[in-house]
């Protein structure tokens, strides 16, 4: 029987999961979705995502695809899947795509956003979705430091040391920092792809700049040194969101 390829956009709260990818002895987003799919199509079905998110990281616009012989109108897939999924995972849309489409390899741009809560006291209602920074930050200095991180460059210094990928060159198109409401600061990163922990390490380094611990010009030196030990800490996962994945014809 002929298979159809379905592309889905999914939003999830990563707080209760060990990450997106299937893992032994820990629940993952992928496992939950594949279990939901099997409940509908009655056979094990593998999904393929645009990329992995780590334990505790959230998504507003993760994308995955799967193949199925089941004939369901595309507008009904979200309803069918959401009926099988827990309330911290929501399928936002589903579309039929050509059989050669691949959620990972066809992605041309990704946007991540990171949320900071910059007040002396923590906030009960943002604690699961933001990094609490209790000291003042100079957003102007942070914006100035982002200039060194824009462009096609070797981001070895901003990649987890244990990462196995050999090519550390990525193209960052844009970094924006703005205070959306008093105390709530959003950092937005847009690029052709990001290394393991790259966004979180950049956030950790920009926090050092904003707090005055690291000079703006030092960021360029850290980048050129290609040494992870020189960059800032890896920001905690709860503030990070995979916001959007862009495709050539999306």
Active site residue 54: yes
Q: Following CA atoms 195, 114, 86, 55 in sequence, which dihedral angle do they give, to the nearest 10 degrees?
A: 40
Closest CA to 194 of 173, 208, 177, 222: 173
Of 36, 47, 38, 131, nearest in space to 87 by CA: 36
Q: Is 219:78 a contact under the CB 8 Å cutoff? A: no
* Catalytic hit among 24, 54, 106, 154: 54
| Helix H or strand E encompassing 209 | helix 198-210
Is 112 annotated as contributing to ligand binding? yes
Q: Tell which residue, 109, 103, 111, has the closest CA to residue 50.
A: 103
Q: Which is it for strands 107-117 and 131-132: parallel, antiparallel or unpaired?
A: parallel
Catalytic positions, written as ranges? 54
Binding-site residue positions for substrate: 112
Binding-site residue positions: 112
């Amino acid at each position: 029987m002929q298979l159809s390829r379905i592309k889905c956009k999914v939003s999830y709260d990563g707080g209760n999961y060990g990450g997106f990818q299937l893992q032994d002895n820990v629940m993952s987003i992928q496992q939950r979705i594949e279990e939901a799919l099997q409940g509908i199509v009655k056979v094990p079905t593998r999904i393929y995502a645009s990329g992995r998110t780590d334990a505790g990281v959230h998504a507003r616009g993760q994308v995955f695809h799967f193949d199925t012989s089941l004939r369901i109108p595309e507008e009904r897939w979200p309803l069918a899947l959401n009926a099988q999924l827990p309330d911290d995972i929501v399928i936002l849309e589903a579309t039929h795509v050509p059989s050669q489409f691949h959620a990972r390899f066809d992605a041309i741009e990704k946007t991540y956003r990171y949320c900071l809560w910059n007040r002396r006291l923590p906030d009960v209602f943002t604690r699961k979705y933001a990094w609490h920074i209790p000291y003042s930050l100079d957003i102007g200095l942070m914006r100035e430091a982002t200039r060194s991180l824009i462009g096609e460059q070797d981001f070895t210094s901003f990649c987890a040391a244990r990462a196995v990928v050999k090519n550390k060159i990525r193209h960052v198109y844009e970094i924006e920092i703005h205070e959306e409401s008093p105390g709530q600061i959003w950092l937005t990163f847009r690029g052709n792809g990001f290394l393991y922990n790259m966004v979180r390490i950049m956030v950790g380094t920009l926090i050092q700049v904003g707090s005055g611990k690291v000079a703006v010009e030092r960021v360029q030196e850290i980048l050129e040194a290609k040494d992870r030990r020189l960059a800032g800490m890896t920001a905690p996962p709860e503030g990070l969101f995979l916001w959007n994945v862009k495709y050539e014809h999306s």
